[in-house]
Amino acid sequence: MEKTTNALFVQISTSIKTVMDNTVNNLNALAKAPLYSTQLQEELNRNQILSSESIAKMQYSSDIVGTTDNLHHVIALYNRSGNIAYSSAVMSMAYVVRQYYDMWYKAAEKENGGICITGFPGGEKQLVCTVSRLVKSIPQMDTVGLISISVPRSVFDEACAQIQNVNGGVAVVFDAESNVIYSSRVLDMEDTVQQLRQTAQRQSGGDAGFDTGDYIGYYSKGNAGEYSILIYTTREELLANQQQTRRLMTALELLVGVLTVLIILLVTSNTTKPLRKIAQLMVRVQKGDWLVRFNPRYNDEIGILGRNFNQMLDRMNEMTEQLITISTHKKQTEIDALQGQINPHFMYNTLESFRMMAVEKDDFELADLLCSFGKMLRYNITTMNEMTTIRQEIEYLNQYIKIQNTRYTLRFSIEYDVPDEMMEFQVIKLLIQPIVENAIFHGLEMQLNRERKISIAVYRRQALCFIDICDNGIGMSPEKLENIRAVIRMRYSEAKETTHIGLRNVNERTRLYYGEEYGLSVDSKENEGTLVRITLPYQQE
């Protein structure tokens, strides 16, 4: 504790020395202004009012040393008669320092041109001390005036601010005659302070700490003995401060301990409580309550865990609904398939009988038509989930086009752009024909102005296979196109529209078999035609 206090005393002493030394250096710098101005020397010697040029020179010198405005030092220049020739302060403060001129002049005269530091007798409240020296003429070296810098109390108070950190601490500054020129607080017994200064001076001899038994402090002398500094406190007050500090530290340790325990309990509660809540929700999920959700309050690890828990439940609910939809759809599809396969051999044999009757009557066109229809029936009544090839889909489509061309005066033409390597590509059955049928009944049937044409292209792009079905029919408006896109996106269970069933059926079967990212896309322009594109994954068997 004593080492810490002594180090603080040294720091305060250094700050005071800095103030005093800077003031002395500034005075020496300011005193040079009259030395280099013969006009200024003559004006001081003749007790004349300074010319504007001389005032400007003094003002410039004051600005150079930087002591006029920011620290509120009072710079004064007196002529031979003791009147103020120049002052950096307002007139009221200038007249305050003027009353001490005689005292400063006598002290400076003793120094014969040297620096003199004196205090303010009577306890001037705003100023602490004055550093002064005589102004000599060149080359006669006659005294023509006096220059002084008065240091305000605020500068010393700032330098000694840390003395407040020492219980009972006092900082005192003495002039060369051992007169008190500044103390950080009012001195009750100045005689005791003078005795303590003498004792400290004998013990330390210079810049050093001292210990008299009752007092502990630090003593320091200024340059050339122009001033001295005494900083001290009583051992009793220091020990009392030490005991108070110990009690304060003990209380702080207890407070920190209690706060630490409370923080640990709070953090633990904030961590374990939401975890227990998630565990309880998991138990409810195990019992079949899939609607529970965790409400995260913060964006921390627990909040992230809770949001992931909610996302998992949402995904599980979505997957459950999809499984139910798929199961229902599959069951309905199987029922429809079974109903569509009632006695298929009977139907096929009956068509074959009709075809033979047509041949016997030489109606070969009807016989050919019945043959095509029979091939379509045989292809269609097999299991819906059975895979087929692009080649078989095209053969089936050709039979369908042959039948449709018997219905219309204006026939339909179909073009294929299918590379040989894509002919054996495996796809689900009845993938292309429903789309061609939709093109005939909704696009080409009402096309009367030009040839009715359908083009089919199958090609591969990296890991995808595309099947483009394009017609040159009447096309559709943007509103109708958007409506068809919405119908195609509907689930089988959601669909209420009875039109474009073929497109919706192909799209949903494709998504169910290959995945949600695959299926149909439709583009169309009015009076130009329609393009339906089927996107599939390219899978080589």
> How would you class 33 by CB atoms within 10 Å of its CB: exposed for 0-12, middle for 13-18, buried for 19 or more?
buried
**How many other C-beta atoms can be found within 10 angstroms of the C-beta atom of residue 277?**
14
Model pTM above 0.95: no
Instruction: Delimit the domains of the chain by residue range.
Output: 2-234, 411-420+429-537
The b-or-e profile of 129-153 (16+ CB within 10 A means b, else e) is: bbbbbbbbbeeeeebbbbbbbbbbe
Say if residues 410 and 444 touch (Cβ distance below 8 Å). Answer: no
235-239, 240-244, 303-307, 478-482: segment of lowest average pLDDT: 240-244
CATH no. for 2-234: 3.30.450.20
Instruction: Note the Cα 333 to chain centre separation in Å.
Output: 56
CATH 3.30.565.10 fits 411-420+429-537, yes or no: yes
Cis-peptide, bond into residue 139, ω within 30° of zero: yes
Per cent of the chain over pLDDT 70 is 78
Task: Return the pLDDT at 346.
Answer: 45
- Average pLDDT of every residue of the chain: 79
pLDDT tier, 342 (very low <50, low <70, confident <90, very high otherwise):
very low
Close Cβ partners of 136 (under 8 Å, ≥ 6 residues apart): 35, 113, 142, 143, 144
Average of per-residue pLDDT across 361-375:
64
Task: Return the pLDDT at 403.
Answer: 77
Distance CA 334, CA 405 (A): 32
Distance CA 470, CA 482 (A): 18
* Residue among 203, 266, 258, 257 nearest 232 (CA): 203
The CA-CA-CA angle for residues 249, 255, 257, to 5°, reads: 100
Per-residue pLDDT tens over the stretch 85-130: 887 766 556 667 778 888 888 888 888 778 888 888 765 667 888 8
What is the torsion angle, in degrees rounded to the nearest 10, for the CA atoms of residue 182, residue 179, residue 204 and residue 14? 30
Per-residue pLDDT tens over the stretch 48-72: 777 777 777 677 666 655 544 444 6
What is the torsion angle, in degrees rounded to the nearest 10, for the CA atoms of residue 36, residue 37, residue 42 and residue 45? -50
